[in-house]
Amino acid sequence: MSSAWLLPEHIADVLPHEARRIEELRRIMLDAARTCGYELVMPPLLEYIESLLSGTGHELDLKTFKLVDQLSGRTLGVRADTTPQVARIDAHLLNRAGLTRLCYCGPVLHTRPAGLHGSREPLQFGAETYGHAGLEADLEVLELAIDCLSLAGIQGLVLDLSDARLLRGVLGSAAISASVLEAVQSALAAKDRAELEAIGAELPPAVRDGLLALVDLYGDSGVLDLARQRLPAVPMIEAALADLAWLARHIGAVHPAVTVGFDLGDMSGHAYYSGARFAIYGRGGIDALARGGRYDDVGAVFGRKRPAAGFSLDLKTVVGLVGFDGRRSAIRAPWSEDPGLRAEVRRLRGEGHAVVCALPGHEHEADEFDCDRELVAEHGQWQVRLR
């Protein structure tokens, strides 16, 4: 019989010190989004499964926990990604004609962890722009993602760029089932040439050659020139390569410390990407810290297809990597019934200071607040002094 206090695998409590660090970073990132004009939304944790998964692809379906609503008898899903919900909000609740910028931060739940030590309950932060089809929106969300990771203290950021149109351009008009397309995307993500050759045996030679070219197209800016030589010369592919060059040029000019590369075969992530897409890594990192890009079709299922671009990241993962110190400096105060002391504590808290009172019997206990000052009585008045 298992102990009542044990949690499911890859589910964990967040204890005070880490929770404080996560909360501090959450505020920093939300403030960064707010300064760029993004408005905060808070979608529900669960929805009817049709709304939550329509148009998102098989991968997200497998990640989503499902349960039966005791009120309606319909199937509900616990969100595994917040983007479809934000698209619903943009389409039906806000329904604005012009540009809309939205951000969010909340837990999502996955049926399986992303890695051996990954959590099944990431804390997803993201920002999304709706209503602008130009590359300016792609660049805006990409720069915000870089800024958020930089504010967290991540050093040596590496940016990988790709574009969903490359694979569509290679496939062209070839008849391919959803299951085969999923197998192609998985093989490209894993750089599995043997699997691609096996899949390509049933496809037209030009498609097979294009897929095998994609798996090798990763590296620095020279990859774009090589792609123009090896991939089909169709307008969709040419437009994608031109857009990637434009984004790389602007990021290089504004963020010279970021290493910009290309992985043109990277089709991992969600199926709703429709254009340029990106992944951002820390120095030497294997797993992406942030992913994003353009997904113009995400609102189509809600009856309002319009341009969209955004990104998301897991705050828990970021905090775990940087050891972000969320401790807030505080003032330590003795506990007393002295009206003067109690009034001074209220005044300081009203000004935004953290004041931690040492309750009777606990005066010498350590705490995780950085109490660098204390309230002391001097000449009949309570004064703040450095400790």
Residue pLDDT, tens place only, 305-325? 899 999 999 999 999 888 666
Q: How confident is the prediction for the chain on average, in pLDDT?
A: 90
Looking at the chain, the whole-number percentage of residues with pLDDT higher than 70 is: 95
The annotation status of 56 as a binding-site residue, yes or no, is: no
**pLDDT for residue 57 is more than 80:** no
Give CA–CA dist 167/181, Å, rounded.
10
User: Which residues contact residue 69 at a Cβ distance below 8 angstroms, ignoring those fewer than 6 apart?
Assistant: 48, 75, 76
Contact between 252 and 260 under an 8 Å Cβ cutoff? The reply is yes
Contact between 375 and 383 under an 8 Å Cβ cutoff? The reply is yes
**pLDDT for residue 327 is more than 80:** no
**pLDDT for residue 133 is more than 90:** yes
The annotation status of 273 as a binding-site residue, yes or no, is: yes
Q: Of 38, 10, 72, which is closest to residue 310 (Cα–Cα)?
A: 38
Contact between 77 and 65 under an 8 Å Cβ cutoff? The reply is yes
pLDDT digits (tens, 9 = 90+) for 17-45: 888 889 989 999 999 999 999 999 999 99
CB environment 170-202: b (16+ within 10 A), e (fewer): bbeeeebeeeebebbbebbeeeeeebbeebbee
pLDDT digits (tens, 9 = 90+) for 165-187: 999 999 988 878 888 888 888 88
Q: In the predicted model, what is the mean pLDDT of residues 133-150?
A: 96
| pLDDT reported for residue 5 | 79
Going from the N-terminus, what domains does the chain have, and what CATH number goes with each? 1-154+283-326 (3.30.930.10), 158-281 (3.30.930.10), 328-386 (no CATH)
Give CA–CA dist 187/61, Å, rounded.
19
| pLDDT reported for residue 176 | 83
Give CA–CA dist 17/267, Å, rounded.
37
Instruction: Please list the alpha-helical segments (H only) found in the chain.
Output: 16-35, 49-53, 58-63, 83-88, 135-151, 164-171, 178-189, 193-200, 205-214, 222-230, 235-254, 315-322, 339-350
The annotation status of 48 as a binding-site residue, yes or no, is: no
**pLDDT for residue 279 is more than 70:** yes
The annotation status of 124 as a binding-site residue, yes or no, is: yes
Per-residue pLDDT band at 55 (split at 50, 70, 90): low
Give CA–CA dist 323/65, Å, rounded.
31
Per the model's pLDDT, the better-predicted residue between 369 and 39 turns out to be 39
Position 91: which residue type? Answer: A
Burial class (CB in 10 A: 0-12, 13-18, 19+), 320: middle
The annotation status of 104 as a binding-site residue, yes or no, is: no
Give CA–CA dist 292/159, Å, rounded.
11
Q: In the predicted model, what is the mean pLDDT of residues 280-303?
A: 87
For the chain, the straight-line distance linking the first and the last C-alpha, in angstroms and rounded, comes to: 50
80 Cα distance to chain centroid:
12
User: Which residues contact residue 126 at a Cβ distance below 8 angstroms, ignoring those fewer than 6 apart?
Assistant: 82, 83, 86, 103, 104, 105, 292, 310, 311, 312, 313
The annotation status of 83 as a binding-site residue, yes or no, is: yes
pLDDT digits (tens, 9 = 90+) for 222-256: 999 999 999 999 999 999 999 999 999 999 999 99
The annotation status of 81 as a binding-site residue, yes or no, is: yes
pLDDT digits (tens, 9 = 90+) for 254-275: 999 999 999 999 887 667 789 9
Give CA–CA dist 50/92, Å, rounded.
15
Strands lying side by side in the sheet with 276-281:
39-40, 100-107, 123-130, 308-314, 290-294, 276-281, 158-163, 259-263, 218-219
